[in-house]
Amino acid sequence: MRRADPTQITDGPGHGPGPAERARTLAYGMADGVLVAPGVPYAPVTAHTTDRDGRPLLLVPAAAPIAAAVAGEPDDLPATLRVSDVAPVALADRVRGRARLHGWLTELPAGELRAAALRLAHPHPRAELLDLAAGRPDGEWTVLALEVAQAEVQDAWGDAVVEPEEYAAAAPDPFVAVEPGILSHLDSCHRDELARLLPAAEGAPGPVVRPLALDRYGLWLRCSAPPPRTPDPYDVRLPFAEPVSDLHGLRCVYRRLFAHATP
pLDDT at 36 over 90: yes
Who's near 73: CB < 8 A, 6+ residues apart?
none
State the amino acid at position 115 in one-letter form.
Answer: A
Least confident among 80-84, 137-141, 145-149: 137-141
Give the global pTM.
0.88
Compare 201 and 32 and report the one with higher pLDDT: 32
Within-domain flag for 222: yes
Q: Are residues 39 and 160 in the same domain?
A: yes
Contact 211, 231 (CB under 8 A): no
Give the structural domain span for 45. Answer: 18-169
Q: How would residue 202 be classed by pLDDT, with cut points 50, 70 and 90?
A: low
Q: Are residues 124 and 202 in the same domain?
A: no
Contact 76, 84 (CB under 8 A): no
pLDDT at 236 over 80: yes
Least confident among 3-12, 24-33, 143-152, 176-185: 3-12
Domain count, the chain: 2
- CA–CA gap between residue 145 and residue 55 (Å, rounded): 7
Q: Are residues 42 and 109 in the same domain?
A: yes
- Region 179-201: what's the mean pLDDT? 90
CATH code for the domain of 213: 3.20.180.10
- CA–CA gap between residue 10 and residue 42 (Å, rounded): 39
Contact 221, 146 (CB under 8 A): no
Q: Are residues 66 and 103 in the same domain?
A: yes
